[in-house]
A and B are shown apart, each in its own frame.
Chain A
Amino acid sequence: MLSRVANFLYWLNRYVERAENIARIIDVNLNFILDSDVSKNEQWEPLVLISGSKEYFFGKYGEATRENVINFLLFDTQYPSSIINCLSMARENATTVREIINIEMWEQINKFYMFAKKIAGKKLNIDNIHDFLEEVKINCHIFSGIQESTLSRGESWHFGRLGKMLECADQTSRIIDVKYFHILPSSASVGSNYDILQWAAILKSASGFEMYTKKYKLIRPDKILEFLILDKEFPRSINFCLHRANQCLHAISASSTDTYVNKAEQSLGALNSELAFSDIDTIVKTGLHEFIDSFQLKLIKVNRDISRKYFDMGEIQLTQQ
């Protein structure tokens, strides 16, 4: 399959997954705030800090008010990962690979983008922000559902799936990171009612509340982290996503997951094993934020290795032939 087409399918899925997760992150933050009595602006700054574009944000908006941050994450066309940009990019990609995917997938993306574009011009109050975020999540689910039930399990599927899984792993780590920035100045509140509520909100934003309580019953921070990072069965846990991504990568090269035949498989395999054989106590001891930082750096490397191997080949590939 053409590298460009594989690249488009991979990013189409990443963009859709990213849009969904931005909606989730805003959602969790809105929940935090409703439950808290802390000064409002402090609560929105973490979202800017994990966005990767804080210089741009403060340069343009000045203050991290709720309105500014939400506008930035949803509709700022200059911020590459805003929902509106994710959808616009997803639609561009889908248009180019319209013959490879099926027409329903394209139509869904097209409708979804048109819907978001219409909302982008309007002023949102707190009620219709919730509605909008809900719509975004549902539309992303519809897209995944169509893909899941209609696309042949060939190379196209695996590249799309690979993108979706890596993006989901990345975004779950960001959702956890939001909590880090919300740790309160006074350690007294750790374990307080407020703290419990925050952890529950994190679970909910990852759509994991029910699955978690079924397994662990009680809200306990370390268990929640274990669930979101290491769980083998929860489909949004980092470990689960990496495991699936790894399978896709090996399906593409038709090689065994026991070993690696290229750099991309090596770096993803190593990261996957690192998590699979880790335990939550060690992670907490190293420091959660440090763990997430280092995880994200490794994920960037995985993405780079995949790109080099499959998407932008240069002269190196020719000499290998």
Chain B
Amino acid sequence: MKFSNYKIENFYDEYFIDSNICREPVKLVVDKINRLAKGELLSRQKAAEKAFLNLGITFNVYSSKEGREKVFPFDIIPRVISGSEWDCLEKGLKQRIIALNLFINDIYSKKNIIKDRVIPEEIILSSNAYRPVCNEVKPPKNIWCHITGTDLIRDEKGQFYVLEDNLRCPSGISYVLESRQITKKTFPLLFESLKVRPVEDYPVHLFNMLKYISNKNPESSTVCLLTPGVYNSAYFEHSFLARQMGVELVEGRDLTVENNFVFMKTTKGLQRVDVLYRRIDDDFLDPKFFRHDSLLGVPGLIDAYKAGNIALANAPGTGIADDKAIYSYVPDIIKYYLNEDPIIPNVPTYICSNPKHLEYVISNIEKLVVKTVDGAGGYGMLIGPKSTKRQQKEFTEKLRANPRKYIAQPTIKLSRVPIMSRKSLEGRHVDLRPYIIYGEDVKVIPGGLTRVAFKKNSLVVNSSQGGGSKDTWVLSDSPKIGE
């Protein structure tokens, strides 16, 4: 299997500029693949798939007929990003996350950004993710969004954009860490000569951050990971991270709140918990404050949090900066708090609650991507160019009935990266989710999760919609060639 018949078509291809000219950072990779003996690439792919299966790297699909667990599809050809390109992205991500943290802090305290008329008040108040209960709450060290998984995409010119800020409970990092183990074994020599920046220290940074936000002495603090349980789609990741950090994996029923302190129920009695990395959405966190029917959460947790007796990562209320209508204001947010221009631009966004935007969206629906403001996982969205007249009509009705719930964006022709299809190497659309940890300082894990739409011509990369992943190799600036 070689690149000789590889087709770029009408897209930005991250491997090739022209059918015979590959981009600088991937030169060694293309060389290596072209030099492999016949069948070798395929057999390495099969070995990688088997390793995934044996490691039990699975995700749960709600309402899937074949049962709960599915193996995560994976392609061994790495996605490569040059060091200089990455350094610029990293700066942009840090800038964005620092500004968003200041924004959340402001929204739940002085609300200056509203007073200064940068963001209209009603767009905050009408957001499902706005938590009035968090007003005047001071999270430890003033950090709200401890873990972020920002979605980046590239258009047909190769320009990076931020597509979504995932500030609630972004998942996927376990796939990054596990895929790295596997690609290292798949292309050991290549890996070494390219000097790929490491990702393996993620759990250490995560754990250090969690200890750092404790209100007690970090070294004697007890950290737990709170999961909704085995039926959650990301349960594998929860248990993976808990094991990597050596902390208890707890469910809501393992915890109890007494006198505003949080305890876990152990065989040795109740044990105080100081920091919770919670992988449960705000809605389900505490039935006393949020959804009363939630059995996943811990009654009284928010009281303990407000009393300063437990640190929560991410802090409740961060979802406000994750609302897709707020997203369109992020460039203004960066300007307002940091007095800087955004390093990574936004995708132009139409907010349907704005009547002018709404009319534009409805008359151009066949060209746009329409999404719900609080959606995730690729559920409930319309991709205009791929939709039927009937679907467009349905969406138009939904938009008119509840415009605040929707935004629209132009359909971006996502960049492509080669994957191994049955008989040949073919281009598929990808996005990129880097992970950012905000603790004592802001750490961006080099690379992140490259999600691939395995279906030909598909633009949807979500794992729940037939997407898979690739390892992302961020190169150091000076690759050792010929050494």
Which A residues form the contact surface with B (CB < 8 A)?
1-4, 6, 95-96, 98-99, 103, 155, 159, 252, 310, 313, 315, 317-318, 320-321
Contact = CB atoms under 8 A, between A and B. Distances in A.
A317 B230 CA distance: 28
Contacts of B242: 99
A2 B269 CA distance: 9
B265 A313 contact: yes
A2 B250 contact: yes
Given A2-B248, A99-B239, A315-B258, A321 B269 contact: yes
A156 B125 CA distance: 49
Interface in B237-267: 239, 242-243, 248-251, 253-254, 258, 263-267
Nearest to A315: B258
Contact of B270 (A96, A103, A159, A318): A318
Nearest to B231: A95
Contacts of A98: 239
B254 A3 contact: yes
Given A99-B239, A99-B243, A321 B270 contact: yes
B258 A2 contact: no
Nearest to A314: B256
Chain B, interface size category, equals: 20 to 34
Contacts of A155: 267
B230 A96 contact: yes
A252 B265 contact: no
Contacts of A95: 230
A283 B243 CA distance: 51
B174 to A, nearest CB: 13
A310 B267 CA distance: 5
B243 A2 contact: no
Interface string B261-290: 001111101100000000000000000000
18 contacts: A2-B250, A2-B254, A2-B266, A2-B267, A3-B254, A3-B265, A3-B266, A3-B267, A4-B253, A6-B267, A98-B239, A99-B239, A99-B249, A155-B267, A159-B267, A318-B258, A321-B269, A321-B270
A115 B169 CA distance: 38
A112 B325 CA distance: 51
A2 B56 contact: no
A155 B268 CA distance: 11
A321 B229 CA distance: 29
A317 B151 CA distance: 46
A103 to B, nearest CB: 7
Contacts of B229: 96
Contacts of A99: 239, 242-243, 249
A293 to B, nearest CB: 31
A315 B375 CA distance: 40
Nearest to B265: A3
A317 B264 CA distance: 12
Given A99-B239, A99-B249, A103-B56, A1 B230 contact: no
B239 A1 contact: no
Interface in B53-78: 56
Given A2-B264, A103-B56, A313 B254 contact: no
| Of listed A2, A315, A317, A318, residue having the most chain B CB within 10 A | A2
B264 A313 contact: no
B237 to A, nearest CB: 12
Nearest to A313: B265
Please provide the 4 A-B residue pairs with the shortest distance between their CB atoms, ordered closest to farther: A3-B265, A310-B267, A6-B267, A99-B239
B187 to A, nearest CB: 28
B265 A4 contact: yes
| Of listed B242, B250, B265, B270, residue having the most chain A CB within 10 A | B265
B75 to A, nearest CB: 26
Given A2-B248, A99-B249, A320 B269 contact: yes
A7 to B, nearest CB: 9
Nearest to A319: B258
B117 to A, nearest CB: 50
B270 A4 contact: no
Given A4-B253, A96-B230, A99-B239, A313 B248 contact: no
A1 B258 contact: no
A96 B263 CA distance: 21
Contacts of B248: 2
Nearest to A106: B56
Contacts of A1: 266-267
Nearest to B54: A103
Interface in B211-238: 229-230
Nearest to B269: A317
Contacts of A321: 269-270
A158 to B, nearest CB: 10
A3 B229 CA distance: 15
A321 B254 CA distance: 18
Contacts of B250: 2
A36 B249 CA distance: 56
A313 B270 contact: yes
Contacts of A313: 265, 269-270
Given A99-B242, A99-B249, A155-B267, 7 more contacts: A2-B267, A3-B267, A4-B251, A4-B254, A6-B267, A315-B258, A317-B269
Contacts of A2: 248, 250, 254, 264-267
Contacts of B253: 4
Nearest to A159: B267
Interface in B153-186: none
A162 to B, nearest CB: 11
Contacts of A6: 267
A197 to B, nearest CB: 47
A95 B249 CA distance: 14
A12 to B, nearest CB: 14
